Every structure is written in structure tokens, then in C-alpha cells.
A and B are shown apart, each in its own frame.
Chain A
Amino acid sequence: MSDVLEALRGEDIVKRFGAVTALDGVSLTLKQGEILGVLGDNGAGKSTLIKILTGFHQQTSGKLFVGGEETMLRSVDHARSLGIECVYQDLALANSLSIYHNMFLNREIIRRGPFRLLDNRAMRERAAECLEEIGVHVPSVDLPVEQLSGGQRQAIAVARAVNSNAKILLLDEPLAAMGAREAGLIIDLILRLKAKGGLSIVMIMHNYAQTLDIADRVMLMQRGRVTYQREAASTSVEELMEIVRREYRAMRAPSH
């Protein structure tokens, strides 16, 4: 942490929903400009962690530091104002609305004047520019997003997050339910964004091999805890699998 600045840090974060402990003391650090891959099974607490980092939920206890400063993320808007943007698995796209309306959803450009009307022309132009800049190609930003493929929709959702000057980008399963070619396009997009600089990325992932390909560092979560953290270059799919396998054996042992 001495020479590379941290974008985000969590210390001993606990989140309970009634009697259920979703996060049981999670600590993590996201360095500036790096991609952190978070792996783990369903119910390991990955989604809860993301929802705390976006301000959607608040942690029961533990500390969060954004850009080195201790912060309680009160709401999604608050997290956003600090440059934290999230692309959820459902992408939060409104299918019947155009690409450009989706890209400016809840951040619409308003025309000057007393009636606060939408400035559709400005949004259309800026959306096209933004997509161009990060290398996402669509036939027209006027198309409703329901006419796009899964990969394109994901790209639009990522572009929307980046378009708002995000410093920290949270991606919830960005490659879920995607064919190899579409996944490849999204991976390229993520790496392009990283190369542009100024962006730190947390990715929740399922696929170990893909994660090791893209991420600088990986973190394994199991039952609400971080059980393993390593530079991506110094670990392997086999090693990660072995840890998970060991966990399963331990869990099954008492019943045998």
C-alpha cells in the first residue's frame, strides 16, 4: 500500500439479515487501477458484498474506506457521488427504452428552462460519443435495448457506468450466461477500460479460468468469509479448485 494508492478498502465487514449472517468479517483492498476478481459459490456473500460497496445495503459492522477516507455508504446515490458505479447481473436496463435513454437513466441531461424537459439530442450525441470512445459498436443509439444481444446489453450497461466518470467499477457476473465469443468481447472491453487508466474494477465471477485471465488479483469467498487471496499470476485454476474441494469435504465429513 506504500507506493500504490488504494481505491477501496473494507475492514472486517459484517452483514446480517435477521438471523442470517451473509458476510462474516470480510476484509478486502482494491488498489488503484487494478482488477480484483471475486470468486465463490452461490450464497458465499459475493452479491451482498457488492450491494454494500454500492450503498444498496449498509453493513451491520466494519469499516469502509473510499480513496483512503472512512465512509459509510448511505445510499446508491451517495456511493455514486464518490465515483462508485455498479453493473448488476440484471443490468438494470429498461428494455423498452432506447440505448441512449438507458445510458442516461436517472442522470438525464435536462434542457434549460422552467419545464425541466429532457435534452434528448444531447443525450443521443453523448451516448454515441461514449460508445465510440470505448469501442462498443451498435447500429444506432435510438434502438430499444430489447433488440440487442446479451453481450451488447452488457456492454451498454458497462458503458453507462463508465460514462458517469466512475472511479470504481463493480461488475456482478459480467460474463454470466454468455457464449465464448460474446464473453471475449466483454473481456476485451474490460481490459480496454483498464488500459485507459483511472478505473479500478471489482468483478464477481464464476469461471475460474476467465477470472485468472482478466484479474490482477483474485479473492475466494466461502460462507461469508474471504478464504484465499492471491495475485492472479501466482495461482492457478487447480489451486483454487483444490481449496473449494477441501471445503466441500470438510462440510460433508460430519454426516458420514
Chain B
Amino acid sequence: MTDAQKPAKRPRRWSGALGRSSEIRIFAVALILCVYFETVNHDFLLTGASLQNLSQFIAPVAIIAFGEIMLMIGGEIDLSAGMVFAFAPFIMYFAIEAGLPPWLGMLAGVVAAGIVGLINGAVTVYLRIPSFVTTLGTLFFVNGLTLTISRGTPVSPPENSAFAAFMGGWGYSEIIWTLALAAFMHVLLRHTRWGLHTIASGANPLGASEAGIQVRRLKLGNFILAALLAGLTGILEGFRITSIDPQAGGNQIMFLAVAAAVIGGTPLAGGSGTIIGGLIGAAVLGILNDGFTLIGINAFTFNMILGAAILGAMIFNIHVVRLARKGNL
């Protein structure tokens, strides 16, 4: 073995691990925040009510983030997710009103969300419109559609059934959905060809297609997946708050999900990403939100802190991690 076959610069162990495991980094941040808020306000974590509250903030952000992460790995984004979130439960509502059993109605809502995803994907992939523009268009379109079919008024989902409890009515059911979906999405991303090829086509689109990977089919699938998850989240939230509101979700939840993905270590530029990181990223947002609320800092300040956190995470991801990987730190 000659010199040139060794790595150009030998990466140091700790910096390599730091560079690779964004999950560990963001988990440390989450822990520090928990300790801080717990010291400042003892009701933060150790009461059932606040824990449930926290889990209910995290769940919708995380599930939408999982879909965004799959897209962001491929260098795409879905801005319409928050509007699909509001749209899907109405389709479910109308389907149930029309006489379908609740589970079939739910399926109809999720399928409707998937169709929006299919449109997002097909326009982006086959008509070569940047996804930022495509989904900006469907954002407004779907929002208008939801407001039109609902006439702008909230409705109630079917209540008092085991189905409703399962779908989000019970306090912790949404976080259980979140954890199950996190496990599923993590396996999909890290342990299947679909996930591996998604990463490969994000890191080197031309190279991936030269290797025979169907890059466009993957992207299309990930747009559908992201929309399905957004629609499902809207339905879960509808059951939880026992109201289906055409103004629910929206851009706020979509941007929180993107923020969770970014803070968790998925760069917008594509090529890499982590589901677990996104889950913890959503948890960090939830902890910040709950923590500051409990110690009496208002929502305006929270947004400032959120903004700073996103910028900090991005600067860290792009510059510090790159340096760490090169072993220059």
C-alpha cells in the first residue's frame, strides 16, 4: 500500500463521529434544553399534562417533517404540505357524510392527499418545474379548494368511537403514531433500496441515473409519500382537537416541519438526511415552545428564538461539519 491510497487526510475519530451523527448532536441539544427548562420550571416535564401537551406539539410537526426529509434529500421541497394537512380531513368528512364507514372515509382523505402529491411530483419531475414553484402553486390552489368545499367553516369529525380514539382522540395516540411512522420511515430510508437510492440520487443525480437508478420515479414516489403523511397528520389532528378547520395547519406547520428537518441535520441542498434527526428536531421545537410558554415568554420571542435556531443549525451543518469531516478541526 502506497501513500496515495491512504486518505488524503486522516479523519480524526471524534470529529468524524460528530460530522456523521447529526442525531447525537441534536439529541444533546434536546437534553440540555430539557434540563434547563426543568430547573427553571419544575412542571415542565414531570407532569402528565405538560408531557401530553409537549407530545401533541411534536407529533404533527414530526410526521410532516418525515415526508419533507425524503424530499429534501433529493433536493426538493413540498410547500403545500400544510394545505394538504387541512384538505385531507375535509375529504374524509365528506366521504363519511356520504355514508362511508369512518375507516374508509379516512382512507379517502389520505388518498386525496396522495393525489395532490402525485400532481406535485408529476409537474416537478416531468414538466421540470422547480418543486419550490410547483408546490407554491398547489399551496394556494389546495388552500382555496379547502376553503371552497368547506365554505370556510369548521366541521366535527365522527366522535365517541374507538376509531376516533385510535386516530388521535386519545391524548397519546398521536405521538404513538409518530413513533411508529418514525420507525417505518427510518427503516425505509436506511434499510431499503428505496431509501438508499433516494440518498444516491440526491447526492449525485446524474451518477445515480448512470448507475441505472430511476431517479424520476423515486422523486415522484417521495412527493406522494410526503403528501400522504401531511394528509394523515391533518386527519389525526382533526380527531385530536375534535374539529376539522379549513384554516388548520397551513404554512406555519409546514415551515415548522422544514425547520425540524433542518435542525435535525437534513440540509436543504440534498444528498443526506435523517428521520431520527427530524424527530428530535421536532422535539427541540416542541421543548422550546413549551418551555418558553411555561416560563412566560411570549410567542413573538419564541419566533425569534426559532429563527436563530434554524440559522444556527444551518451554519453549523454547512461549515462546522464540513470542517470536521475534513479533519481540520
Dominant SS at the B interface? helix
Binary B-proximity of A219-241 (CB < 8 A = 1, otherwise 0): 00000000000000000000000
| Contact (Cβ within 8 A) B8 A101 | no
Chain B residues near A118 (CB, 8 Å)? 191-193, 196
Chain A residues near B2 (CB, 8 Å)? 181, 185
Q: How far is the CB of A182 from chain B (nearest CB, A)?
A: 5
| Contact (Cβ within 8 A) B197 A106 | yes
Known: A106-B197, A116-B192, A151-B5. A92 touches B11 (CB 8 A): no
| Contact (Cβ within 8 A) A105 B200 | yes
A72: CB under 8 A from chain B? no
B127: CB under 8 A from chain A? no
**Which of B93-101, B140-148, B210-218, B252-260 sits within the interface?**
B210-218
The answer for the CA separation of A185 and B272 in the assembled complex, in Å, is: 30
The answer for the CA separation of A88 and B207 in the assembled complex, in Å, is: 8
Q: How far is the CB of A139 from chain B (nearest CB, A)?
A: 6
Interface of chain A residues 98 through 117 with chain B (CB within 8 A): 101, 105-106, 108, 110, 115-117
Known: A94-B200, A106-B197. A138 touches B5 (CB 8 A): yes
Number of A-B contacts (CB under 8 A): 102
Chain B residues near A108 (CB, 8 Å)? 193, 196
B199: CB under 8 A from chain A? yes
Q: How far is the CB of A100 from chain B (nearest CB, A)?
A: 11
Q: How far is the CB of B187 from chain A (nearest CB, A)?
A: 7
Chain B residues near A92 (CB, 8 Å)? 204, 206-208, 210-211
| Contact (Cβ within 8 A) A90 B204 | yes
Q: Please give me the 3 A-B residue pairs with the lowest Cβ-Cβ distance, nearest first.
A: A92-B207, A94-B200, A94-B203
Interface residues of B (CB under 8 A from A): 1-8, 10-11, 20, 187, 191-193, 196-197, 199-200, 203-204, 206-208, 210-213, 271-272, 325
17 example contacts (A-B, Cβ-Cβ < 8 A) are as follows A80-B212, A90-B204, A94-B199, A94-B271, A97-B200, A106-B197, A106-B212, A108-B193, A118-B196, A139-B6, A139-B10, A146-B325, A147-B11, A149-B7, A152-B5, A179-B4, A181-B4
